Amino acid sequence: MRFKMRFSLSGLIVLAIVGITLAAPLISPYDPYAIDGAEPFLGPSLTHLMGTDDLGRDLFSRILYGGRITILIALAATIIALIIGTLWGMIAGVQRGWVDEILMRTADATMAIPQILFALVCVSAVGSSVFSLPIIAGLLLSPTTARMARTAVVVELASDYVVAAKATGLKKSRLIMTEVLPNIAPQLLVQLSINAAAAVMMEASLSFIGLGIQPPDASWGTLMLQGYGNLWNTSWFVFFPALVVTITILAFNSYGERIRVSLDSRKSSK
Amino acid sequence: MGRYLLRRALSSSIVLATSLIFVFLSIRILPGDPVLAQLGAATKVTPEALQMLREEAGLDRPLLVQLFAWLSQAFRGDLGVSYISQFPVTQLVAERLPVTLELTFFIIVLSCIFALILAPLSTLKPGGILDRSIGSLTSIGLSIPGFVFGIIFILIFSLTLQWLPSLGFVPIKENLGQNLQLMIMPSITGALTATPYLVRYLRASMLEIKQSSFIRTAEGKGLSDSRILFRHILPNSLVPTLTMLGLIVGYTLSGVIIIEYMFGLPGIGSLAIEGAFKRDYAVIQGVSLVIISLFILTTLLFDILCGLVDPRLRVSKERQNEI
Amino acid sequence: MTNLLSVKNLSISVPSAKGRVSVVDNVSFEIPAGKKIGMVGESGSGKSLTAYALMRLIKSPVSIDGGEIFLNGREILGLSSKEFRLLRGNEISMIYQDPMSALNPIMRVGQQIIESIQLHSSVSKSVARKAAIDLLASVGIPEPESRIDSYPFEMSGGMLQRVVIAIALSGEPKVLIADEATTALDVTTQDRVLTLIDKLAAERNLSVLLITHDLGVAAQFSDDIMVMYAGKLVENGSVEQIFSNPAHPYTKALLDSRCDYTIDVNKPIKSIAGQPPRPDNRPSGCVFSPRCAHAEPKCSASVPPLTSSQGRLTACFRSDELFQVGAVN
C-alpha cells in the first residue's frame, strides 16, 4: 500500500506560495518597513507593483514579508496541531475504553466552542505574538486532527495486516510506529493541508480584528485590516492581500481535497 | 421522542459543562494576571494593594472553588461584574444579545435559502456545467474569509453604489426599515460563509438519496420529477443536513463575531472582542458562556427538527423491536 | 390473442474500460394479455435490466442502445419522458427486489399509495384514502384502517412487500413486472407473496413478468419461461417444455444443478463448470460455448440464432441433435 505523490496544480501553488513568502527578503524590491518618501496611496505601477500604503511603503514588499509571517504561523500551527492531534487521536484509538471516551468527549467539547471565541479567550490571556499565535491556532486545530487520527488508527488496527502482525508477536508500540503510522500518513497529509488553510484563515481573521499580529509587523491579516481602514481612500489596497489570502487557502484546501479524492479512489478500486 | 430528547439534552449539557470548564481554565491557567490587566501598565501597585484586589475578586481561592462559584452564579443568571466598566456582565450581554440573535437568525435563514436553491440545481445533472460551476463557487466560497465578503459588499453597495450604509445599528423597535437596511450586508456576508458548507453537504446527501431504491419506486409510480424532488428526495436529504446545520451554526457564530465587529453592530460578538482588547476576563467568560450555550441550544433545536422530519428518530428502539 | 407487451431486439450497454459493452444483447419476446411469464437467469444475465428497460428506468451510465418495446401496440422507447410518465403505474408497473428499501422511510405507507392513486385518477384525498385502505385489504394487510398510517420501519418485510404490491396496483396497470419480488423475504413469506401475486393477477387479468434466479419459483408461478444467459435469451418455452424437455444445454445444466431434495438426497448436485463471462469479456459465438459440454468449433465461430425447435424457441446450433425428446441426459 504505497501512496504516490502526483503532480497537481494546487500542490504546485502551495509550494510556490510557501517558497516565495519564505524567500521574501531575496525577492522583495523594497524594504517593507522603510518610510522612504514614496507617495502614500500610489496605485499599482511598474515601480510599485501593488502600489503603496498610507505611509508610502511598497505594498508588494509588505505582502511578501507579511506572507512570511502568515505562512510561518500557519506552518507552525499545523505542525503543532499534527503532533498534538495525532498523539491525542492515536492514544484514544489504541487504548479505547474509558480513555477513548474521555479523550473524544473532550474533543467534542472543545469543538463546541466557536474557534474565534476560543482564540479571543487565549489571546486576551497570553497576548498575541508570532510565538503565541501558532500555539493558539495549533491547539484549536488539534481536536479535528485527533478525531481524524483516531478513526484512521481504529480502522488500521482492525485491518488484516495488523492482525497478522500481532499474531507474529510484534509489540503494540512498535506496530504503531512501523505499520500503522506509515499507513495513515496520507490521511494525515490531507489533514495537514486542511489545517494549514484553517490556520491561514485564523491568523487573517484575528489580525483583521486587531487581535493578531501587531504593527509595525505586518501579516496578510493586518494588511487587510489596513486596507479596510483605508477603504475610503484607496479601495484597491485591500484587494491584493484579500486575493493572496484567498488563493492560499484555496490552494491548501484543494490540495488536501485532491489527496483525499485519490485516496478514496484507491480505496474503492482495491 | 421524550427519551430521544432527554438523551440529547444530557449529552449536550455534558459538552456545555466541559467546554465552559475549558474556557474558565484557559483564562486562569494561561499566564497573564487579570488584576494587573485591570489596573493597566501605567499604575504602580504595591503588592499589598494587588493582594487586596485579588481577594476582592475572589482570585485567591482555589481554582475549583472559583469555577464552581462562577458556574453556580451563572446558573442563577449572574455572570459577574465587568473588571473594567463595573457593569454587571449579565446586563451587558442582555443588552446586546438581541442584535446577535437577529443576525444569526438572518444568516441561518438566508444560507438555507441559498443552499436549497443551489444544491438541487447542482444535482439536476451531476457532473454537468451547472454542477461544476456551483462546485467551483463552493470551493472558492470555502476559501474566502467571511470578512472579505463583507469588504466586497461595502465596496460595491456603500462605496460605489451608495445604496447601503456600511456601519451602524438601529434597534428593531426604533425603526424596522433602517434596522433591516443595516442588517442586509452583515447577514448576506455571514450567509455566504455558511452556504458553501450547506450546499456541499446537501448536494452529497441528495445524490445519495437519488440513488436509493425508493426513489426508483417513486419514479415507477409515474410521479413528476418535481414531485419526486420535493416530496421524496429533499425531505430525506434534510435529515442529515439538519444535523450538519447545527454544526454550521457553530461555525457561523465564529463568523458573526467578526462580522459584528466590522459592521459596527453592537452584539455580543463585538462585546467579546472589546473584552479581549481590554482583557476584561469577566466579560469574555460571560460572553463565552452565552455563545457556547447558544450554539449547543441550536444544535439541540436542529436535532429536534430532525426528529420531526424523520419518524424513525421519534420512536425509541424498544417500540421498533416490538413491531 | 394480442400481445400486450412485445420487445424487439432490445440491447442495453454499460461503459467499461474497453468502451461500451453490451449487457442485454438483441433480446426479443412477447407477453400476451393475461399470461404469466417467468424470466430466469443468474445475476448479471441482464434480466433485471430488461425489466427496468420496460419501465424506462434505465439510468446513465447504463443506456438502451437499440430495439423497440411495444406496450399495447404503442412503441414506448420513442416517447418523450413526459408522455411515458403517464403510462408508468397506469399501463405498466413494477414490484421491486428489496421491499425494505423500496419505500420512502419517512413517509407514511398510506401517503405513498395515496399519492399514486391521486396521480392516476383525479379524486379527492378522502376518496383516495378509502381506495388505499381497500388496496391494502386486497393485498392481505390486516387492519388496513390503522396500518395505513404506519411508517415503513414499523412493518415487516412481508408486509412491506404487500404495500409495494399495493402501490404497483394503485394505477390499475395491465402489465405487472415482479423483479425478484420474493428474494429478500424468508421462505414462507416468499410463498405467500407469490400466491398473492398469482391471485391478484387472476382477479385483475394482469399480464405478469416474473423475474427470478430461481427456476422453482418460476415453474410454480408462470405459464411460460424464458431463460437468460450473459445478456442473451437462450430459450423460451412453456413450463412443461422447459422442465421436461429442455432444448438448450444451459437450461439443461440449470435444471441439473437444482438441489431437488424430493428425488434423491444422495444424488450429487451437478454444478456448471466455470463462471458466467463478464460483460467486457464475452466470448465470440455462442456465449455459453466455453462452459458447454457439447460445444463444437462452430459454436464459438458464430452466434446461434433464437430459432424454433420442438415447439419452443432456443438459441443452440445443436439442440435438435442433442435434445431429441429424451435423447441425452
**A231 vs B contacts (CB less than 8 Å):** 151, 154-155, 159
Contacts of A57 (CB under 8 A, 6+ apart): A30, A32, A33, A34, A35, A38
**B284 vs A contacts (CB less than 8 Å):** 120-121, 124
CB contact under 8 A, A209 and B273: yes
Helix (H, G, I), strand (E, B) or coil at C88: strand
* % of chain C with per-residue pLDDT over 90: 39
Smallest CA–CA separation between C259 and chain B, in Å? Answer: 32
Q: In this structure, what C-alpha cell is assigned to residue A205?
A: 481573521
Q: CB pairs below 8 Å between A and B: how many?
A: 141
Chains C and B touch (3+ CB pairs under 8 A): yes
**C104 vs B contacts (CB less than 8 Å):** 214, 217-218, 232, 236
**B232 vs C contacts (CB less than 8 Å):** 104, 107
Q: pLDDT grade, residue A7 (50/70/90)? A: low
Q: pLDDT grade, residue C175 (50/70/90)? A: very high
Q: In this structure, what C-alpha cell is assigned to residue B264?
A: 459596527
Q: pLDDT grade, residue C125 (50/70/90)? A: very high
CB contact under 8 A, C119 and B217: no
Search chain C and give the residue with CA nearest B235: C106
Instruction: Summarize the confidence of residues C131-141 as an average pLDDT.
Output: 93
CB contact under 8 A, B312 and C151: yes
Q: Which residues of chain B have pLDDT under 70?
A: 1, 30-45, 56-58, 315-323
> What local confidence, expressed as pLDDT, does residue C136 receive?
94
**A232 vs B contacts (CB less than 8 Å):** 159
CA triple C64-C70-C76, angle to 5 deg? 55
Cβ proximity of A44 and A50 under 8 Å: yes
> What is the identity of the amino acid at A224?
M
CB contact under 8 A, C101 and B212: yes
Which of C55, C105, C154 minimises the CB distance to B323? C154
Q: CB pairs below 8 Å between B and C: how many?
A: 83
**Measured CA distances, B268 to A20, B16, B97 (Å):** 40, 18, 6
Which of B217, B221, B311 minimises the CB distance to C106? B311
CB contact under 8 A, A126 and B31: yes
Q: Is B221 on the interface with C (CB under 8 A)?
A: yes
CB contact under 8 A, A114 and B291: yes
Search chain B and give the residue with CA nearest A123: B276
Checking if the pLDDT of A115 tops 90, the result is no
Smallest CA–CA separation between B222 and chain A, in Å? Answer: 34
Cβ proximity of C34 and C219 under 8 Å: no
Residue C210: strand pairing partners: C38, C178
Instruction: Summarize the confidence of residues A171-185 as an average pLDDT.
Output: 81
- DSSP strand pairing (C36-40 vs C207-212): parallel
Q: Is B11 on the interface with C (CB under 8 A)?
A: no
Cβ proximity of C170 and C148 under 8 Å: no
Tell me, letter by letter, the H, E, C secondary structure of chain B.
CHHHHHHHHHHHHHHHHHHHHHHHHHHHHCCCCHHHHHHCCCCCCCHHHHHHHHHHHCCCCCHHHHHHHHHHHHHCCCCCECCCCCCEHHHHHHHHHHHHHHHHHHHHHHHHHHHHHHHHHHHHCCCCHHHHHHHHHHHHHHHCCHHHHHHHHHHHHHHHCCCCCCCCCCCCCCCHHHHHHHHHHHHHHHHHHHHHHHHHHHHHHHHHHHCCHHHHHHHHHCCCHHHHHHHHHHHHHHHHHHHHHHHHHHHHHHHHHHHHHHCCCCCHHHHHHHHHHHCCHHHHHHHHHHHHHHHHHHHHHHHHHHHHHCHHHHCCHHHHHHC
How many angstroms separate the most distant Cα atoms in chain B? 85
Residue C209: strand pairing partners: C37, C177
Query: How far is C314 from C311, CA to CA, in rounded Å?
Result: 10
Closest by Cα among B273, B278, B207, B198 to B241: B198
> What local confidence, expressed as pLDDT, does residue B72 receive?
86
Q: pLDDT grade, residue C259 (50/70/90)? A: low
> What local confidence, expressed as pLDDT, does residue A158 receive?
81
Residue C7: strand pairing partners: C29, C69
**Measured CA distances, A141 to A111, A151, B124 (Å):** 9, 16, 36
ipTM entry: 0.84
Closest by Cα among A269, A265, A255, A257 to A10: A255
Checking if the pLDDT of A143 tops 60, the result is yes
Cβ proximity of C300 and C223 under 8 Å: no
Q: For the stretch C209-226, what's the b/e string if a residue is b when 16 or more beta carbons lie within 10 angstroms of its beta carbon?
A: bbbbbbbebbbebbebbb
Residues of C with CB under 8 A from a CB of B: 55, 57, 85-90, 93-94, 96-98, 101-107, 112, 115-116, 119-120, 151, 153-155, 164, 167-168, 170-171
Contacts of A164 (CB under 8 A, 6+ apart): none
pLDDT-wise least confident of B238-247, C138-147, C207-216, C247-256: B238-247
Chains C and A touch (3+ CB pairs under 8 A): no
Checking if the pLDDT of A188 tops 80, the result is yes
> In terms of residues, how long is chain C?
329
Q: Is B230 on the interface with C (CB under 8 A)?
A: no
More confident residue, A41 or C209: C209
C-alpha B172, offset from chain centre: 21
To test the contact with chain C by mutation, choose from B131, B217, B232, B234 the residue with the greatest count of C C-beta atoms within 10 A, namely B217
Search chain A and give the residue with CA nearest B33: A125
* % of chain A with per-residue pLDDT over 90: 31
Instruction: Summarize the confidence of residues A157-186 as an average pLDDT.
Output: 80
CB contact under 8 A, C116 and B222: yes
- DSSP strand pairing (C19-32 vs C3-16): antiparallel
Chains A and B touch (3+ CB pairs under 8 A): yes
pLDDT-wise least confident of B108-112, C70-74, C289-293: C289-293
Q: pLDDT grade, residue A77 (50/70/90)? A: very high
DSSP A4: P
Cβ proximity of B247 and C145 under 8 Å: no
Cβ-based neighbour number of residue C326 at 10 Å: 8
Neighbours of chain B (3+ CB pairs under 8 A): A, C
Search chain B and give the residue with CA nearest C88: B222
Closest by Cα among A156, A217, A222, A226 to A185: A156
**C120 vs B contacts (CB less than 8 Å):** 222
Cα dihedral A138, A141, A144, A148 sign: negative
Q: Write down the pTM of the prediction.
A: 0.84
The answer for B 261-320 residues in CB contact with C (under 8 A) is 309-312, 315, 320
A6 exposure class (CB count in 10 Å sphere: 0-12, 13-18, 19+): exposed
Search chain B and give the residue with CA nearest A212: B277
Q: In this structure, what C-alpha cell is assigned to residue A177?
A: 510506529
Q: For the stretch A206-229, what's the b/e string if a residue is b when 16 or more beta carbons lie within 10 angstroms of its beta carbon?
A: bbbbbbbbeeebbbbbbbbbbbbe
Q: pLDDT grade, residue C104 (50/70/90)? A: very high
Residues of A with CB under 8 A from a CB of B: 105-106, 108-118, 120-127, 197, 201, 204-205, 208-211, 224, 227-228, 231-232, 235, 238, 242, 245-246, 249-250, 253-254, 257
To test the contact with chain A by mutation, choose from B8, B23, B26, B247 the residue with the greatest count of A C-beta atoms within 10 A, namely B26
Smallest CA–CA separation between B217 and chain C, in Å? Answer: 6
**A127 vs B contacts (CB less than 8 Å):** 32
Q: Where are the alpha helices (DSSP H) in C155-248?
A: 157-169, 187-204, 215-221, 239-244
Backbone angles phi, psi at A58, to 5 degrees: -70, 120
Output Rg (C-alpha) for chain A, integer angstroms.
22
> What local confidence, expressed as pLDDT, does residue C265 receive?
62
**Tens of pLDDT along B84-116?**
788 888 999 999 999 999 999 999 999 999 999
Q: pLDDT grade, residue A268 (50/70/90)? A: low
**Tens of pLDDT along A34-74?**
776 677 777 777 777 777 777 778 888 888 999 999 999 99
> What local confidence, expressed as pLDDT, does residue B38 receive?
60
Closest by Cα among B217, B202, B226, B237 to B309: B237
Instruction: Summarize the confidence of residues C243-255 as an average pLDDT.
Output: 85
CB contact under 8 A, C102 and B223: no
Mean pLDDT of chain A: 85
Q: pLDDT grade, residue A3 (50/70/90)? A: very low
Q: In this structure, what C-alpha cell is assigned to residue A26?
A: 531575496
**C102 vs B contacts (CB less than 8 Å):** 213-214, 216-217
Q: Is the peptide bond before B145 cis (omega within 30 degrees of 0)?
A: no
Query: How far is C191 from C188, CA to CA, in rounded Å?
Result: 5
**A246 vs B contacts (CB less than 8 Å):** 140, 143-145, 148
**Measured CA distances, A195 to A73, A75, A130, A140, A206 (Å):** 12, 9, 18, 10, 16
CB contact under 8 A, B30 and A125: yes
**B240 vs C contacts (CB less than 8 Å):** none
CB contact under 8 A, C106 and B231: no
DSSP A178: I
The answer for B 239-258 residues in CB contact with C (under 8 A) is 239
Cβ-based neighbour number of residue C318 at 10 Å: 18
DSSP C60: T
**Tens of pLDDT along C1-20?**
467 899 999 999 998 888 88
Q: Where are the alpha helices (DSSP H) in chain A?
A: 9-22, 24-27, 59-95, 97-111, 115-126, 132-158, 160-167, 172-175, 181-208, 220-229, 239-269
Q: pLDDT grade, residue C53 (50/70/90)? A: very high
Tell me, letter by letter, the H, E, C secondary structure of A12-57.
HHHHHHHHHHHCHHHHCCCCCCCCCCCCCCCCCCCCCCCCECCCCC
Q: pLDDT grade, residue C149 (50/70/90)? A: very high
CB contact under 8 A, B221 and C88: yes
**Measured CA distances, B183 to B117, B186, B226, C52, C56 (Å):** 22, 6, 34, 53, 50
Query: How far is A164 from C63, CA to CA, in rounded Å?
Result: 45
> What local confidence, expressed as pLDDT, does residue C328 receive?
46
Instruction: Summarize the confidence of residues A226-231 as an average pLDDT.
Output: 87
DSSP C269: P
* % of chain A with per-residue pLDDT over 70: 95
**A228 vs B contacts (CB less than 8 Å):** 147, 151, 262
CA triple C55-C167-C149, angle to 5 deg? 150
Query: How far is A21 from A251, CA to CA, in rounded Å?
Result: 15
Q: Is B231 on the interface with C (CB under 8 A)?
A: yes
- DSSP strand pairing (C224-229 vs C36-40): parallel
Mean pLDDT of chain C: 87
Smallest CA–CA separation between B107 and chain C, in Å? Answer: 28
Checking if the pLDDT of A141 tops 90, the result is yes
Cβ proximity of C306 and C237 under 8 Å: no
Contacts of A265 (CB under 8 A, 6+ apart): none
Cβ proximity of C82 and C164 under 8 Å: no
